[in-house]
Chain A
Amino acid sequence: MTQSMFLAQRRLCSVGGSRTKYLKTIYSSKISRFSTSPKMSLKFKNAKRIEGLDSNVWIEFTKLAADPSVVNLGQGLPDISPPLYVKEELSKIAAIDSLNQYTRGFGHPSLVKALSCLYGKLYQKQIDPNKEILVTVGAYGSLFNAIQGLIDEGDEVIIIVPFYDCYEPMVRMAGGTPVFISLRSKPVDGKKWSSSDWTLDPEELASKFNSKTKAIILNTPHNPMGKVYTKEELQVIADLCIKYDTLCISDEVYEWLVYTGNKHLKIATFPGMWERTITIGSAGKTFSVTGWKLGWTVGPNHLIKHLQTVQQNSIYTCATPLQEALAQAFWIDIKRMDDPECYFNSLPKELEVKRDRMVHLLDSVGLKPIIPDGGYFIIADVSLLDADLSDMKHNNEPYDYKFVKWMTKNKKLSAIPVSAFCNTETKLQFEKFVRFCFIKKDSTLDAAEEIIKAWNRQKS
């Protein structure tokens, strides 16, 4: 999950006083000189496209977790170091003068070449580096370009709940209408609860498609659930996309983070899907460098060209040195994709151990975790704990918001409420769930373990 690392510091004095005075002066001068009504406040109003999109869940929760005594498993960023060779490449690049100036707008040549090579292998097809790839400001930027480029006023976009929180506001900002469908769990008596137990009902999904459906946004591996969609599940989605001539925006930022027994599949490789799918990836998630803010989109030129149009009218080009360093890092790992040392293989191995540790810890204290098949988050049902949240204010907030605040304050452990990943109508469906991030160094997980053990002792 995207997160701010630093919190808002103490505010400096605002200029409120003098501003009020100014407003009064202008207003009265308008009255004396013109007979029109006060339009002034209207002019400073936001454009309609961002109406209602100003709130953001992260601001509240980053502040809460910023207390250094809190063990922070909320933020979706690694507190582990990126691999050494990635840092080394960036260091080498910083010394090369020409890389301090603009590069190609749609992606630095050596980077798009590396991406074309890597994804050519994964897609088993030739991918044109200039026409079928676009480098963006993080996967976030790819999502923005795709939605701005392809979604129009009145278009419907299917979003699967829970969802990465930006999908809904981005669709609304483009004038689109989000249509929601929730993942639902099968009963799991006895066995361990897994993200694969959460599925879409095919009939319900089909009922969401109609002639106005422009796109469906797919996220696999899924944030926050950790679900890795199976071949059959993807086939259902693909069939509907083809039937209704719908686009698929596939957010695959966690594509390398799949655990034993699971395989990441690209819906764009399914028959009939390449021509209608936009696939998004992330350097931040691939190489544990979220602060580099580089992402990319792979797709057919007749779709990519529209994302490129958005790019050339929004940010124009991404940072050069970071793109070059990323290209070099890619070449290192592309050459050893079957090697356990390759980061695409070693990171999921490392994370699987952490995942299992988290599952065990959460289980031990009565939080019912859903074992993720992929990604670096784990969600747990906290209702069985029946925590006493009566001293928490804001009684009309969803249960999980209150729980997280209570847990942060009383247990010094932070997480993110899963209802933050739901639209207004579906918040109640997921309000018993809380999300923990486990791409954390051992000492962070040790500290979490201490807290959880103490919590457990308190209960018994």
Chain B
Amino acid sequence: MEVNQAKQEHLLALKVMRLTKPTLFTNMPVTCEDRDLPGDLFDQLMREDPSTINGAEALMLGEMLTLPQNFGNIFLGETFSSYISVHNDSSQVVKDVLVKADLQTSSQRLNLSASNSAVAELQPECCIDDVIHHEVKEIGTHILVCAVSYTTQYGEKLYFRKFFKFQVLKPLDVKTKFYNAESDLSSVTDEVFLEAQIQNITTSPMFMEKVSLEPSMMYNVTELNTVAGGEDGESTFGKMSYLQPTDTRQYLYCLKPKPEYAEKAGVIKGVTVIGKLDIVWKTNLGERGRLQTSQLQRMAPGYGDIRLSLEMIPDTVNLEEPFDIICKITNCSERTMDLELEMCNTRSIHWCGVSGRQLGKLSPGAFLSLPLTLLSSVQGLQSISGLRLTDTFLKRTYEYDDIAQVCVVCPFTSNKG
């Protein structure tokens, strides 16, 4: 029936098969012992079965390759491969056969044919074969459009098309989170930590071959996904670096602004581009996929007009003993400021020195270091609060609370111990 139909319509038949990777045949070992009723029969049957492993028949995973059984799923970033076969079903020679394969996505149309030249003659029972590959870069409906044009022996020009529709799915879910480590103490860099959660939302295990952060020009990146002091390159995820369906994995990166950007703290502010994640994974027999995220952006910590950071502060101080800290005040605004410093005591923190003193003019991007002395009247972890800066030009006051913490201990009890 099929043949007749094809003949009525066309001399050529077009067949398409998606070439996902072949799969390894698995067999089902059912064994018995010599003393059992079947004796050696079951084992013999298994030995004779070509799909079992010689000498280890109980091993399920065989070596026999089987072709893909159905279209399967295709995910963004994977390569769509397909066999296109045009077969001359007729008994006559067909001329000038041109096979064209296009992929229509929701936004564009791509030509995937290896060659665009026509085959001059196709004998009966002969095929034109083409294997096309395309790295899928869009999600959603794709249509493979195969067009065949040819000339019959009577000079009749014929043409037909076939459409194969498939859906490209999303393989991964990526979520990110930024942590701003204010490295005020060293005063060198403003490190940013990026945590990326990558979830496998396909239905098969995924081997993560590479998950790297390509930083933007402003940053250098350190990957924190190997065990420090472990064997070289030992992953924090253990030896088996694969993600089961719905599994999520956290990757951590440390980004440091390059010196030229770090020195001018004012430069990195507002929304900055951090970089993008480059993810390469593999599935069955090395089926490969690759994705990049869009540029990851973060809002640099809102320092406002004036940034107050600490350059020096002790970890531990004695109760009721004065200690020194050094504050760094940076003008992050676009205008010159005239600053006045006010120090307000809290329940536990008492500032030493004169409150309300003038710090003078500070031009945009400039900073000044400010040594201050204070003491704590309460033991325990204490938060340093109560600094107020007032820009006398605009009469605007900036409040700085919870700037840092110190541990306040009683020197007498420690002596006793």
Q: Is A bound to B?
A: no
